[in-house]
Structure 1
Amino acid sequence: MKKIITAVVLFVALFQSTTLMAQDILKGNDLSNVRVDYLSDGDIAKIKSQLQSNNVSIDQAESMALSKGMSATEFAKLKKRLALPEGPKATADKKKTKKKTKDTESEDEQDDSDDTERKQEKFENEKVKDSLNSLVFGSELFDNPTLNFQPNLKLATPVNYVLGPGDELQVSVNGVQEFDDNVPVTVEGKVNIQYVGQISVSGMTIEAATQKIKGAIARIYSTVRSGQSQVSISLSRIRTIKVTIIGSRQPGNYSISSLATVYNALFLGGGPGKNGSYRNIELIRNNKVLKNIDIYRFLVSGNQSDNVGLKDNDVIRIPAYTDRVTLEGEVKRPGIFEIKKGERFSDVLNFASGFNEFAYTASVNVLQKTGKEFKVADIQAAQYGSYIPLNGDVYRVSKILNRFENRIIIEGAVFRPDTYSFYEGMRISDLIRQAEGLKEDAYKKRAVIVRLKSDLTTEVVNVNLEKALSGDSEADIALLKEDKVTVYSILDFREEYKITIDGEVKTPGIYDYHDRLTLNDLLIEAGGLKGSASKRVEIARMIKSETINDNDPNRSTLFNLEINADSNEQIKNFALEPYDVINVRRMAVFEKPEMVKITGAVAYTGKYVLANKKEKIYDVIQRAGGLTSVADLDGVKIKRPIKGKQIEDLENVSMNVSSKIEDVEGEKIKDGEKNNGSGVKSDTIQNKLAKKLLEEKKYATIPVDWKKIIKNPANNTNVTLLPDDEIEVATYNESVKITGNVLLTSEIPYTKGRGFNYYLDAVGGLDARGWKKKAYVIYPNGKAAVSNPVFLVFRTYPKVLPGSQIVVPEKPLTRKMTTGEWVSIGAIMTSLATLMVTAFK
């Protein structure tokens, strides 16, 4: 009975420990009773998710688990199960679900590939840019991240693949009986298949192991023996092997795939290190050199015969190079090349992919090192296949000369000006024939040959083309290489004549002169006459004379003609000459109707045409129906646009002012004075004036006294209107606006009889910067009034009307006198007082 109770207690404790382990490996206190073999696939999945959620790797969890009593053997089993894919039961269930739903999508990309791709740990190594060997031919192979030589795990299972511990086989039985499981090769080299038992496969090829496993399964599954079920075996996970790399940029022990090759391992190791050989790399297996690897065979011809597979504990040794040479200059791939015994200079050229298109190939210069010093030699083209390079040789391939051995050039008035090949006995007629003859405008009396002499200076040779082409052997001179023949055109000797037309034509300007050009032709070319053109045309022609006539004061000859403006034709067509200037006059009376605009408190606002040249404001307002009952009689004004010429004049004035200010400031600077803020900089003044003129000041305001005009229309305030004027009649406003440097900007109701100070007091008075004596009033009609001094501190302020605006400007900044200046003034006053006392004694 006690034994039974003890067994039950141990079973419960073991079950609880296992449950605790599955629930949270990080929180369990006692893991000594954990048995990994009893954990289900679901428990393993829970542990994996818990580690991931806590951002803890399995290696980090090892020390925690061992400290809580878990044995190293059990943790090794746990680590192995966490690294393996899902168990056979889960895999079989997933395959059944796939078959039923035919759904190719999955929640996780890795899970989706479990059934279709072979598994293998991903092996990477952080690449370091090879700056030491950057010029060595072949070093770029190991710096390129796209060339890693990793084995393709999607290929069919290699039949000659030798199994070993760490591999995993997928065993499937399909047909009447079904079975599916992933069985790992244990450390003893066996696979354990459910219901079949353990089968030794270590050291066997996958093909031999498949036949052995099929035979063992056939003894258990009767349908396999009868052929009603079929067995398929594939490699589902590849084991990891250890290799050692010596002499690489990153030497050390590497864990790589058992399908990996030498190039894959070399890439992980970063390739040969400084002074490492690229052509005599040793693959050592079982303490013997199995193969010598020459990377150049792959780089030059793509031969991968040296890229053999690796086995566990292989050693890749990269010795130091024996001989290297440098190839510089005009080759396709200059750099540093490693050479073997027996190789020739032609082999080095082959490594560099040969000469480029600009190379001088007749000979190559080589800089060699002797025991004591350098020496220079030349290798001729015939020696390329026999010359044996020496260690440290530096070969320089120079560029071909920038000159031609058989070039001749023709340009100018020929149909095909170009560069042609020269041959002995070639004459000027032969070259012109190659250029397909002379153009119609060619000047045949003379052509020029610029010839290069033997001392590289040039000379000019003249040719009479007319005689040369007619068969004159003396004129048809022989050519030399590098001759440059120029055939001139008669158009090159003609002056480019122009003619000018201005006035009332649609497109006035300067036009090309042609022979027999007439006035009618030019009028048509200029687009014809405008509607404002008169019948009067004036033509000015330059005077040409071989002698100076002081009695003739005329600078040009004038012709006055009459034309028919309706047909652009004249009765007698006038022939023009070069440099004539034609002016088509405007009609004496030709003015389009001009308008003004009226807005505000009138009966009919809008635009009105000026009926006569002296149209007054009173006349236009009367045409607009007069002022309405809400019109402010003191609020009539004219806004007149500022013309471009006026703006230009004002800008010139501002520039003159600024120049004066600059002169004054310049004098102050010379005298040692400094601008402390009291002065105004000239560029600031000019910028503000220019901005106000161009952006703000678009028109000038003309105030109108309507009350006087009503009494007497002949009053001078009844001004004559100009085109584009705008008459503005304000609506009566019973308030007064106060702005500027006051405490409160506001509008105060107008109170009859109240003066200027009343409205300032109504807004709280002036602020600290307000300048009362410079305050002014703007009336509704645009007129302004300022205060005037009467006597000493007494001033009269302008009258305030309804709709007026009071503006208080800001006081300018003034510089206070320093203590030193006051002391100086006091000293001067004291000296003056002393002088006065002395004088009156």
Structure 2
Amino acid sequence: MKKLFYVLTFLFLLLGSSNANAQDIIKSKDLSTIKVDYLSDDEISKIVAQLKSNNATIDDVESMALSKGMSQTEFDKLRTRVKEYEKKNSKDTDKDKKDKDKKKDDKSKDIDKDSEFGRRQEKIKNEKVKDSLNALIFGSQLFDNPTLNFEPDLKMATPLNYVLGPGDKLEVSIYGIQQFDDTVTVNFEGKIAIQNVGQIAVAGMSIEAATQKIKAAIAKVYSTVRSGQSQVSVSLSEIRTIKITVVGGKQPGNYSISSLATVYNALHLAGGPGKDGSYRNIELIRNNRVFKNIDVYRFLVKGDQSDNVGLKDNDVIRIPAYSQRVTVEGEVKRPGIFEMKKGETFADLLNFASGFNEFAYTASVNVLQKTGKEFKVHDIKESEYASYLPQSGDVFKITKILNRFENRIKIEGAVFRPDYYSFTEGMRVSELIAKAEGLKEDAYSKRARVIRLQYDLTTEIVNVDLSAALSGDVTADIELKREDIVTIYSILDFREEYKVTIDGEVKNPGEYEYFENLTLNDLVIQVGGLTGSASKRVEVARMVKSDQIDDADPKRIELLELQITADNNEQIKNFVLQPFDVINIRKMAVYEKPEMVKVSGAVTYPGKYAIANKKETVYNVVMRAGGLTSIANLDGMKIKRPIKEEQLKQLESIDLNLDKKQIGEDGKESNLKDKDSLNSKLTKKLRDDLKFATIPVNWEKIVKDKNHYSNVTLFPGDEIEVAVYNEGVKVTGNVLLTSEIPYRSGKGFKYYINAVGGVDNKGWKRKAYIIYPNGKASVTGSFLFFRSYPKVTPDSQIVVPEKPEVKKMSAGEWVSIGSVLASLALLIVTAFK
């Protein structure tokens, strides 16, 4: 304890002897007046040096400092500044400390990155939270936007009216014949100390006045300054932090901000006015008097920042409750809740809301007012906008204009410019047609139609003799009315749309438009000409027309047989087609392109072979491939036949006639939402997984008898696979070890299953089956208590399937069965008594 007392006493004595400010404020036994914020970096460095020289830390002297009156808050600040200083200087070397230029570089590490002039300011962090409750209040978006702030720009030149105070740092430089450079701090007495010059009181002075005073003091010491051979420069290098108070904001409290900060900066930090706070009568109180009334609307509406004055230490920003708010809804550019001052009119309110939008009904505005007992509705005429004084709680509703036109008329149909046109009283049909640039050539001149909207909103049709109206007949050229729709018909509207159809051996078969005098030659050229497989036979089916029904004639159409030259598109020049004719160009009787099959595996010449005749068999193709090689497995020949799309469509169309309830993969009953779901699964498996159907081939039988059923006729796309002889037997499925066992003559089915360790707990041994090399399969058979297994051959595969899950009966179901049996037994006993 004695050591700590010695350290603290020595520390404060050192401060007192080295700095006059510290000597006046730090009394020998009273530390209650110490303000750590006003201690300079040099004073902190001396405290750190004294602690190190006595092998003590700042934490060691905490209890002693508190006992001498220092508050816990001030000591925490002192501890923070000491530790920050130690951390900042922990990387400095002895060489850096002796070199003056290096010291300036070290100081620059603490300079605000946004400053290009060496000016720094303590950063103020303030996280914004979007205020959704007050989002409709006009002006609230100014203070809850995290990307918007009013922080002072440290890059700007120091304002000449900036008032210096304790904590500011000045950069004083003399340049010319004599040179001097020093950074001095305004201490809490308001003075700066310049080497060889002495102390100068600058607190409370503007930067401009302080500069003149400093120059005058330096000129007394430096003769070259006095003579003008050297110049003096004074600039603000570090801005002090001031404390202000915000009352009535969303986040009221005390704030430490830059001495360059303004009112809007402080309001932004406090989140703006609170829920019931005023945006138009904010008070800046300085020295216990209202220094300025701030109206945020002046900035929001006009961009006027005259209210955004600078702040001073201990300023108070008071946000009182609003006195009058109104709501604007509907067709304005900026609907919301607005605060009104006494004497402001609805025209001013409309200006705050940025005026009506393009859909607003502006002749009058409906306002919902509140009386002392109930609501009432009032209409404000356009002439009253500049005189009506809104009352607190008013709700102004601006409605849309009506979806109707006061002078619109429409013309459509066979005119050159069908559209809407402006209507004038006394307008006639001929005038409207003239506005539409006249009639088209296809206009139907006998009649025009006018659809008219009557006063009761019903419609009527008025027919017009168009040729008479255009020839000057005033009776026919009727007067039009607002919202009339005039329709000019086209003669093309009355014509039936005729088509002809061509099919068969042409490039682009289909339905085509019919024209008068259309010939077969014209149509053949239009569809791209004949294909190479076209024959000379052409059949034309023609519609039969008759006003009477002839039951004796069963014909529904007329068939015309024609002959053409198949290799020429120009023929039968005089055959003229009629509407709805169906032309069919027949195909040649024999016109087939060579198609291929494939042979792979253990043959002499594997590859693709053309089908030479209509009944090309397996034997013929294999022999064309050079026959089987010595390593071929005679029992391992099969045909892979591609599954055709037509077969898949047939499968999809089959109704499997299954119950709606099916057993799912998990063994539970489930309802089928679609009766074709199983069909689609099968179709998908065939199309994506299997792709081929397998046909087993018995080569030994074919060699002995070419008419054997295995010697099947091949189809285009078939593939003959000849397996290489393999002496292994594969065992897969639900067995303990999937493996391939060497074939042993005379060994049966059980031998190979036992060779892989037998079946597992899910294996269904009695349903095991074997797949032979040629694709044929055989299953295990049973009769009474005897079971017969299929014969095993080389290169075959034994598969043990999985047992299906069986739903076990619950205890309740067993009890139900037991009760039924008991009741049945009782019934039988009773019957035989």
Pairwise TM-score range, normalised by the shorter structure: 0.7 to 0.9
Residues 1:728 and 2:727 aligned together: no
Specify the alignment match of 2:294 in structure 1. Answer: 293
Q: Pick from 678, 682, 692 the counterpart of residue 699 of structure 1.
A: 692
**Letter of the 1:643 counterpart:** K
| Between 813-822 and 224-233, the greater mean CA deviation after superposition | 813-822
Specify the alignment match of 1:805 in structure 2. Answer: 797
* Normalised TM-score (structure 1): 0.82
SS of alignment partner, residue 434 of structure 2 = helix
| Between 34-43 and 793-802, the greater mean CA deviation after superposition | 34-43
Q: How does 1:565-580 map to 2 (within 5 A)?
A: 565-580=566-581
**Letter of the 2:703 counterpart:** I
Offset of 1:457 from its aligned partner? 1.7
- Taking a change above 3 Å as real, the CA distance of residues 779 and 474 of structure 1, as seen in their structure-2 partners, is same
Specify the alignment match of 2:775 in structure 1. Answer: 782
- Taking a change above 3 Å as real, the CA distance of residues 429 and 189 of structure 1, as seen in their structure-2 partners, is same
Specify the alignment match of 1:259 in structure 2. Answer: 260
Mapped to 2, the partners of 1:278 and 1:773 lie a distance apart of: 90
Offset of 1:577 from its aligned partner? 1.6
* Contact map agreement 2:521 2:572 (CA 8 A) in 1: no
* Contact map agreement 1:92 1:180 (CA 8 A) in 2: no
Specify the alignment match of 1:751 in structure 2. Answer: 744
Mapped to 2, the partners of 1:812 and 1:369 lie a distance apart of: 78
* Contact map agreement 1:678 1:814 (CA 8 A) in 2: no
Residues 1:712 and 2:712 aligned together: no
Specify the alignment match of 1:630 in structure 2. Answer: 631
Specify the alignment match of 2:241 in structure 1. Answer: 240
- Taking a change above 3 Å as real, the CA distance of residues 651 and 364 of structure 1, as seen in their structure-2 partners, is closer
Residues 1:193 and 2:194 aligned together: yes
**Letter of the 2:729 counterpart:** V
Mapped to 1, the partners of 2:97 and 2:419 lie a distance apart of: 78
Offset of 1:214 from its aligned partner? 1.2
SS of alignment partner, residue 751 of structure 1 = coil
SS of alignment partner, residue 686 of structure 2 = helix
* Contact map agreement 1:676 1:815 (CA 8 A) in 2: no
Where does the alignment leave 5 or more consecutive residues of structure 1 unmatched? 1-9, 19-30
Specify the alignment match of 2:232 in structure 1. Answer: 231
* Contact map agreement 2:116 2:155 (CA 8 A) in 1: no
Specify the alignment match of 2:17 in structure 1. Answer: none
Mapped to 1, the partners of 2:473 and 2:119 lie a distance apart of: 90
- Taking a change above 3 Å as real, the CA distance of residues 447 and 176 of structure 1, as seen in their structure-2 partners, is same
Mapped to 2, the partners of 1:67 and 1:726 lie a distance apart of: 100
Q: How does 1:91-170 map to 2 (within 5 A)?
A: 108=109, 110=111, 116-127=117-128, 129-130=130-131, 133-170=134-171
**Letter of the 1:297 counterpart:** R
SS of alignment partner, residue 329 of structure 2 = strand
Mapped to 2, the partners of 1:40 and 1:355 lie a distance apart of: 60
Mapped to 1, the partners of 2:827 and 2:337 lie a distance apart of: 96
**Letter of the 1:544 counterpart:** K
- Taking a change above 3 Å as real, the CA distance of residues 558 and 157 of structure 1, as seen in their structure-2 partners, is same
Offset of 1:70 from its aligned partner? 11
- Taking a change above 3 Å as real, the CA distance of residues 685 and 809 of structure 1, as seen in their structure-2 partners, is farther
Residues 1:492 and 2:493 aligned together: yes
Offset of 1:179 from its aligned partner? 1.4
Offset of 1:454 from its aligned partner? 1.8
* Contact map agreement 2:736 2:758 (CA 8 A) in 1: yes
* Contact map agreement 2:733 2:801 (CA 8 A) in 1: yes
* Contact map agreement 1:120 1:237 (CA 8 A) in 2: yes
Q: Pick from 727, 738, 750 the counterpart of residue 731 of structure 2.
A: 738
SS of alignment partner, residue 599 of structure 1 = strand
Offset of 1:41 from its aligned partner? 6.2
Offset of 1:90 from its aligned partner? 8.6
Residues 1:793 and 2:785 aligned together: yes
SS of alignment partner, residue 492 of structure 1 = helix
CA deviation digits over 1:51-83, x for unaligned, max 9? 9xxxx9x9x999578369997899988988999
Aligned-residue CA RMSD in angstroms? 4.5
**Letter of the 1:254 counterpart:** Y
* Contact map agreement 2:112 2:120 (CA 8 A) in 1: no
Mapped to 1, the partners of 2:491 and 2:632 lie a distance apart of: 80
Where does the alignment leave 5 or more consecutive residues of structure 2 unmatched? 1-5, 15-27
Specify the alignment match of 2:65 in structure 1. Answer: 66
**Letter of the 2:359 counterpart:** F
**Letter of the 2:693 counterpart:** A
* Contact map agreement 2:285 2:291 (CA 8 A) in 1: yes
* Contact map agreement 1:678 1:813 (CA 8 A) in 2: no
- Taking a change above 3 Å as real, the CA distance of residues 571 and 329 of structure 1, as seen in their structure-2 partners, is closer
- Taking a change above 3 Å as real, the CA distance of residues 425 and 598 of structure 1, as seen in their structure-2 partners, is same
Offset of 1:614 from its aligned partner? 2.4
Mapped to 2, the partners of 1:535 and 1:373 lie a distance apart of: 96
Q: How does 1:253-402 map to 2 (within 5 A)?
A: 253-402=254-403
- Taking a change above 3 Å as real, the CA distance of residues 627 and 323 of structure 1, as seen in their structure-2 partners, is closer
- Taking a change above 3 Å as real, the CA distance of residues 651 and 238 of structure 1, as seen in their structure-2 partners, is closer
Mapped to 1, the partners of 2:46 and 2:338 lie a distance apart of: 55
Mapped to 2, the partners of 1:237 and 1:748 lie a distance apart of: 91
Offset of 1:362 from its aligned partner? 2.0
| Between 338-347 and 518-527, the greater mean CA deviation after superposition | 338-347
Offset of 1:831 from its aligned partner? 8.8
Offset of 1:92 from its aligned partner? 11
Specify the alignment match of 2:584 in structure 1. Answer: 583
* Contact map agreement 1:298 1:304 (CA 8 A) in 2: yes
**Letter of the 1:313 counterpart:** N
- Taking a change above 3 Å as real, the CA distance of residues 406 and 729 of structure 1, as seen in their structure-2 partners, is same
* Contact map agreement 1:62 1:75 (CA 8 A) in 2: no
**Letter of the 1:707 counterpart:** E
| Between 544-553 and 375-384, the greater mean CA deviation after superposition | 375-384
Specify the alignment match of 1:606 in structure 2. Answer: 607
SS of alignment partner, residue 122 of structure 1 = coil
SS of alignment partner, residue 570 of structure 1 = coil
Specify the alignment match of 2:213 in structure 1. Answer: 212
Offset of 1:219 from its aligned partner? 2.0
Mapped to 1, the partners of 2:561 and 2:46 lie a distance apart of: 111
The number of residues matched between the two structures is 793
Offset of 1:192 from its aligned partner? 0.7
SS of alignment partner, residue 444 of structure 2 = strand
| Between 817-826 and 483-492, the greater mean CA deviation after superposition | 817-826
- Taking a change above 3 Å as real, the CA distance of residues 395 and 776 of structure 1, as seen in their structure-2 partners, is closer
**Percent identity of the aligned residues?**
63
Q: How does 1:477-556 map to 2 (within 5 A)?
A: 477-556=478-557
- Taking a change above 3 Å as real, the CA distance of residues 204 and 266 of structure 1, as seen in their structure-2 partners, is same
CA deviation digits over 1:590-614, x for unaligned, max 9? 1222222212222111122222222
Specify the alignment match of 1:475 in structure 2. Answer: 476
Mapped to 1, the partners of 2:774 and 2:326 lie a distance apart of: 98
- Taking a change above 3 Å as real, the CA distance of residues 823 and 152 of structure 1, as seen in their structure-2 partners, is closer
* Contact map agreement 1:369 1:375 (CA 8 A) in 2: yes
**Letter of the 2:197 counterpart:** V
| Between 508-517 and 319-328, the greater mean CA deviation after superposition | 319-328
* Contact map agreement 1:504 1:584 (CA 8 A) in 2: yes
Mapped to 1, the partners of 2:459 and 2:734 lie a distance apart of: 84
Specify the alignment match of 2:3 in structure 1. Answer: none
SS of alignment partner, residue 454 of structure 1 = coil
Mapped to 2, the partners of 1:816 and 1:546 lie a distance apart of: 76
* Normalised TM-score (structure 2): 0.83
**Letter of the 1:453 counterpart:** Q
Specify the alignment match of 1:557 in structure 2. Answer: 558
Offset of 1:252 from its aligned partner? 3.6
**Letter of the 1:427 counterpart:** R
**Letter of the 1:488 counterpart:** Y
- Taking a change above 3 Å as real, the CA distance of residues 700 and 79 of structure 1, as seen in their structure-2 partners, is closer
SS of alignment partner, residue 564 of structure 1 = coil
* Contact map agreement 2:62 2:75 (CA 8 A) in 1: no
